[in-house]
Amino acid sequence: MRVIATKRGDYNLQQAATQMESGTTRIPIDQAYTRLQIQDHMLPEETIFAYFQQLTSDNGAGTRDHYAEALRSIALERGSNYLLAKLDDPNAIVAPAPSTSDQPIGLDNIGNTCYLNSLLQYYYTIKAIRNVVMNFQDFRMPLGEEDIKRKKVGGRSVSKAEIIKAQKCKPQRPLEVIVSLIEISR
């Protein structure tokens, strides 16, 4: 049943499979978070799975089952196909669920990047900057000899190789373009 439920992404089948496997209902959600040593119940699924992996990395099967029960309860409570798939296969590639208008949009903070993330998100709301990002190929600095001589970064002349390196970015990644634009404009 677990395989079918995972394949279909069916929350109700996942719940039934869990009850069949354990012979009981899942553990209370607060207890599940506590077991995984998670205080913030709003953490992203990737972070919750990282907690689970950390706790089970050097432990035996019995301990892993203890934590897996907590992770499964959280996954079922959230209706998370991501967590259920990762629980069955930690290396599973799970496509992200499509976002909806009521979900926050933005970047994940990876420790000390919250200021940069907020700055990039703000820049992207400015239509003129967004147009440059979306049409980056049209706004690249020309690589003529005179253009290169005029280019300065902090008063220092910039080499053609540095400009070419800064201009290497993929248009399908708008935030990388903004980072490159910030670097180029210095």
Domain housing 42:
2-88
- Of 153, 178, 179, 180, which Cα lies nearest the Cα of 164? 180
Q: Is the domain of 38 the same as that of 83?
A: yes
Residue that is last in its domain, among 88, 106, 140: 88
> How many C-beta neighbours within 10 Å does residue 81 have?
20
CA distance 149 to 140: 16
Q: How many domains does the chain have?
A: 2
Q: Is the domain of 15 the same as that of 75?
A: yes
Q: What pLDDT does residue 35 have?
A: 92
Taking the complete model, does pTM exceed 0.85, yes or no?
no
Asked if residue 165 belongs to a domain, the reply is: yes
Asked if residue 95 belongs to a domain, the reply is: no
Taking only the tens of pLDDT, the chain with its 186 residues reads 677 777 777 766 776 676 666 555 568 999 999 999 999 888 888 889 988 988 888 776 677 888 988 998 998 888 888 898 888 888 888 765 565 555 555 566 666 677 777 787 788 788 888 788 777 778 777 888 888 888 887 788 888 888 777 777 544 455 555 555 555 544
Asked if residue 104 belongs to a domain, the reply is: no
Asked if residue 68 belongs to a domain, the reply is: yes
Q: Is the domain of 127 the same as that of 172?
A: yes
**Partners of 152 in the β-ladder:** 157
CA distance 56 to 130: 43
Asked if residue 107 belongs to a domain, the reply is: no
Residue that is last in its domain, among 53, 88, 123: 88
Q: Is the domain of 132 the same as that of 78?
A: no
Q: Is the domain of 12 the same as that of 75?
A: yes
CA distance 23 to 85: 21
Q: Is the domain of 54 the same as that of 126?
A: no
Q: Is the domain of 77 the same as that of 140?
A: no
Q: Where are the alpha helices (DSSP H) in 23-126?
A: 29-35, 45-56, 61-78, 81-88, 114-125
Q: In sequence order, what DSSP letters do the residues of 109-156 get, joined into one string?
A: --SS-HHHHHHHHHHHHSHHHHHHHHTHHHHPPP--HHHHHH-EETTE
Q: Is the domain of 30 the same as that of 80?
A: yes
Q: What pLDDT does residue 153 have?
A: 77
**Residue 88 contacts residue 6 (beta carbons within 8 Å):** yes
Q: What pLDDT does residue 70 have?
A: 92
Asked if residue 105 belongs to a domain, the reply is: no
Residue that is last in its domain, among 88, 103, 126: 88
Q: Is the domain of 138 the same as that of 74?
A: no
Q: Is the domain of 63 the same as that of 125?
A: no
Burial label for 74, CB within 10 Å (0-12, 13-18, 19+), is: buried
Q: Is the domain of 67 the same as that of 120?
A: no
Q: Is the domain of 64 the same as that of 128?
A: no
